């Protein structure tokens, strides 16, 4: 589909931003294709998503500078909203999204990775928010999500200086969870997605919602959010079967089996 490919591998979807001639920069068409790819996923089937970029050089080298260069104030705001709406959709997507960052993650590239649940990267990955060097702000959520992820002090330093950082520094400051050789990155992301997909999907979704919604609330309200979602699991077949399997196993170790969670 246009600038975005989507491949289904059993219960995992791999979405690839495919505009390598521009280092996968996000123009309006790429953003539309990306939204369509997420909208097209059947979340009754898909239990985890991997988001990556085509080629071995770049995940996403930012929003398209050529397209942005002539925007008016109103158009700039609208473009920022377009990106923000799609990135928020990814952030709130019912199942976990893993960013497999295979190279440059600059500007909008760093920002889209931060709308994913988990970030892992290749050794050649490079992160940064170069926007102030272009006369703009990180307008696809960068001023908000970077501070929430790595703390306000470090986020302000990176944003104000527009300094790019390599994978090892991104790991050290908690922007990514792990670094892999380029050729191992996608397999590592798919393996992690497979581990997620093997768990009870209703519970995994509830965890995502509890963490995301709870982080926006005060601790008392956040714990209520958790309690409600915890309670909702007890209406599921998967909870009954998951716990019954544990009890059968205690009863007779020969009865141990991998639970085939049904998403119901």
158 within 8 A of 18, measured Cβ to Cβ = no
Which residue lies nearer to ligand CO8 by CB, 55 or 214? 55
CA angle in degrees (0–180, nearest 5) for 87-61-22: 115
Neighbours of 61 (CB within 10 A): 24
Q: In what order do the strands lie in the sheet with 104-106?
A: 58-60, 104-106, 126-128, 165-166
User: Does residue 190 touch ligand CO8 according to CB under 6 A?
Assistant: no
User: Residue holding tokens 């992820």?
Assistant: 149
Q: Which of 6, 34, 37, 63 is in the footprint of ligand CO8 by CB under 6 A?
A: 63
> Among 77, 91, 123, 131, which one carries the catalytic annotation?
131
* 241 is known as an active-site residue: no
Task: Pick the binder of ligand CO8 from 41, 43, 134, 211 (CB under 6 A).
Answer: 134
Q: Does 25 bind ligand CO8 (CB under 6 A)?
A: yes
The runs of H, that is alpha helices, within 55-178 are 65-68, 73-91, 108-114, 142-150, 152-161, 167-172
Select from 178, 73, 90, 66 the least CA-distant residue to 141: 90
- Give the residue with the Cβ less far from ligand CO8, 79 or 127: 79
Query: Is-contact 14 7, C-beta < 8 A?
Result: yes
Q: Where are the beta strands (DSSP E) in 40-80?
A: 48-53, 58-60
Q: Closest distance between ligand CO8 and the C-beta of residue 46, in Å?
A: 28
Q: Does 23 bind ligand CO8 (CB under 6 A)?
A: yes
Residue among 7, 56, 77, 111 flagged as catalytic: 111
Q: Which stretch in 77-85, 113-121, 202-210, 231-239 sits in contact with ligand CO8 by CB under 6 A?
A: 77-85
* 111 is annotated as an active-site residue: yes
**Residue 106 interacts with ligand CO8 (CB under 6 A)?**
yes
Q: Tokens standing for 260?
A: 């085939």
Q: In this chain, which of 53, 96, 130, 201 binds ligand CO8, going by CB under 6 A?
A: 130
- Which positions lie near ligand CO8, rule CB under 6 A? 22-23, 25, 61-66, 76, 79-80, 83, 104, 106-108, 130-131, 134, 138-140
């Amino acid at each position: 589909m246009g600038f975005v490919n989507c491949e289904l591998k059993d219960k995992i979807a791999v979405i690839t931003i495919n505009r390598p001639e521009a280092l996968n920069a996000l123009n309006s068409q790429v953003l539309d294709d990306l939204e369509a790819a997420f909208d097209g996923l059947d979340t009754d089937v898909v239990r985890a998503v991997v988001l990556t970029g085509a080629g071995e050089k770049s995940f996403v080298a930012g929003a398209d500078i050529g397209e942005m260069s002539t925007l008016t104030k109103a158009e700039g705001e609208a473009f920022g909203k377009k990106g923000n709406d799609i990135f928020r959709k990814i952030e709130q997507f019912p199942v976990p999204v893993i960013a497999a960052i295979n190279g440059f993650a600059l500007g909008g590239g760093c920002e889209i990775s931060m709308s994913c649940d988990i970030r892992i990267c290749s050794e050649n990955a490079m992160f940064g928010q170069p926007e102030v060097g272009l006369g703009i702000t990180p307008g696809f959520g960068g001023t908000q999500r970077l501070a929430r992820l790595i703390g306000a002090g470090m986020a302000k330093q990176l944003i104000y200086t527009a300094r790019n950082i390599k994978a090892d520094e991104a790991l050290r400051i908690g922007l990514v969870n792990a670094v892999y050789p380029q050729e191992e990155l996608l397999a590592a992301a798919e393996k992690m997605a497979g581990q997620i997909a093997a768990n009870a999907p209703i519970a995994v979704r509830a965890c995502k919602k509890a963490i995301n919604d709870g982080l926006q609330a005060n601790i008392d309200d956040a714990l209520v959010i958790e309690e409600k979602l915890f309670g909702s699991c007890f209406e599921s077949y998967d909870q009954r079967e998951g716990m019954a399997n544990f009890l059968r196993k205690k009863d007779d170790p020969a009865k141990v089996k991998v639970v085939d969670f049904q998403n119901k």
